[in-house]
Chain A
């Protein structure tokens, strides 16, 4: 009641740096094109800029794979997709790259009496620098997470979730991209299906990497220097 206000240690504001940092980040949206581009490399999976860019109406909203486990077993599979940023301008990036993956997991088929499980076990993201002249990609860094996201049950169900990854691009070695050097994002998702030993129906797990369309987006956010 009417006591002295708490003394808060002074924190030197640095609006200049914060403002520069905020405005210099660009967000590259992972998308699928129905018709592949052929130059400078052939690809259907692209990173597009700026946010939010229109998606290819004929392109897919996601890449999906399924796995079926025989009775009494666990079966696993992985999805791997590489997106390429087809930028022709000169850009330099350094600092913390933020990568967000949007993943969909579905218990698509399961026994009605003995529970089955659909599970995402691991997500890995990797940033690559692709040299158009050498046709080679060099890793800029990768990040991995053991996630153990599961749906167990005797009825079909699905969930969508996002995971954040951070990869440091050294400030003394900024990533430089131009018409001959392309930035790529590789996403790998490992998932499983489990069928109970007493089940009459096998378990099928479906997993998707969602592209940038709507509210579930996979994207890269990079600090421009």
Chain B
């Protein structure tokens, strides 16, 4: 139930998540996110001692 819980927790925090998988321990975000949101995700992972990496979190300001 780990990936479903991470997905749910992040969604509740307002993060738009696309995929969470525990084969390569990756969280794929649905679209662009601010540095603040990315810091929130990193804090969540740290607090829950989860070893997941974020795939291509694009900073919002870089989007045209």
Give the docked Cα–Cα distance between A155 and B31 (Å).
12
Q: Which residue of B lies closest to A119 (CB)?
A: B3
Q: Which residue of B lies closest to A155 (CB)?
A: B18
Residues of chain A within 8 A (CB-CB) of B15 are: none
Which of A125-133, A144-152, A204-212, A214-222 lines the interface with chain B?
A144-152
Q: Which residue of B lies closest to A194 (CB)?
A: B4
Q: How many residues of A contact B (CB 8 A)?
A: 17
| Contact-residue bracket for chain B | 10 to 19
Residues of chain B within 8 A (CB-CB) of A150 are: 2-4, 20-22
| B7 pairs with A153, CB closer than 8 A | yes
Q: Which residue of A lies closest to B16 (CB)?
A: A154
Q: Which residue of A lies closest to B20 (CB)?
A: A152
- Distance between A65 CB and nearest chain B CB, rounded to angstroms: 19
A interface majority secondary structure: strand
Residues of chain B within 8 A (CB-CB) of A107 are: 19
Give the docked Cα–Cα distance between A115 and B20 (Å).
10
Give A191-205 as 1s and 0s: 1 = Cβ < 8 Å from B's Cβ atoms.
Answer: 000100000000000
| B4 pairs with A115, CB closer than 8 A | yes
B interface majority secondary structure: mixed
- Distance between B20 CB and nearest chain A CB, rounded to angstroms: 5
A157 in the interface, Cβ–Cβ < 8 Å? Answer: yes
Contact of B23 (CB < 8 Å), options: A153, A155, A159, A194 = A159
Give the docked Cα–Cα distance between A159 and B11 (Å).
23
- Chain B interface (Cβ within 8 Å of chain A)? 2-4, 6-8, 11, 17-24, 28, 30
A-B contact list, 16 entries, CB within 8 Å: A107-B19, A117-B3, A148-B2, A148-B22, A150-B2, A150-B4, A151-B3, A151-B21, A152-B4, A152-B7, A152-B20, A152-B21, A153-B7, A153-B28, A154-B17, A159-B24
- Chain A interface (Cβ within 8 Å of chain B)? 105, 107, 115, 117, 148-155, 157, 159-161, 194
Q: A152-B19, A152-B21 are in contact. List 20 more A-B contacts (CB 8 A).
A: A105-B23, A115-B4, A117-B3, A148-B22, A149-B23, A150-B2, A150-B20, A150-B22, A151-B19, A151-B20, A151-B23, A152-B6, A153-B18, A153-B21, A154-B18, A154-B30, A157-B19, A159-B24, A160-B23, A161-B23
